[in-house]
Amino acid sequence: MNIFLALFFLGLIQGLTEFLPVSSSGHLVLFSKIFGVEESLFISILLHVATLLSICVVFYKEIWHMIRHPLSAETIRLVVATIPTCLIALVFMPLVKQSFAGGFLPICFAISAVLLFVSEVVFKKKDGGQLNLRTVFFMGVAQGFAIFPGISRSGTTISAGLMCGKNKEEVAKFSFLMSIPIVFLSLCMEIFEICTGTAQVQIEVLPVLISFVTAFLVGIFAIKVMMKLTAHSNLKWFSAYLVVIAIVSMFYL
């Protein structure tokens, strides 16, 4: 497939799947293999930055409030969620870079499927409620293990919040917001490694730019619809989809 068309589709896939509990990074790795495009952690981070900008556009009021009030409850919750994510990511980073070869995709997709199914069953037995520090810390731990392609970041964090008995819509909204610092820090780390020579990146600027812009624009369009869909739909349907995609991924490794 033409590199421009392939990266356009990867940007489209990122923009759509980032806001569903199905692992956008896992889909990027899988479809990179299907399209014959070499996937890398750097490309994945760039596309996540594109959808991060989409989140910033949609949630600019909430983000601006946290910037203006760094000691607010919202900001503190975000910090508490980010700390365990960073610690876990640092420990497993060497293994994460290897995982972008795609060898772990089937098992990681399957893990996401199980988490979504279990959280949906448990959630029905809970009354909901506002987020507290214990819940957001647990969500941060879940986000830390979701750095592997195929383990859905939004899926695991939403599952963690639901297992704590919290409101599905509030959990979904916070799940999107808590991706902002970790994606930003991932980009900074990758840029640092490139500048220090510990990582090498060979990319074609124009195709990657097309992919980036596509992911950003599609993300802006999709996020509101996807957030409502994620917050109010039955997660078992996403679980079933992940089982299917796990089987499909086995044929492209």
C-alpha span between 141 and 138 (Å, rounded): 5
pTM: 0.86
* Helices 133-145 and 153-163, packing angle to 10 deg: 150
| Angle CA 198–204–206, to nearest 5 | 135
> Does the pLDDT value for residue 228 go beyond 90?
no
pLDDT at 241: 95
Mean pLDDT taken over the chain: 85
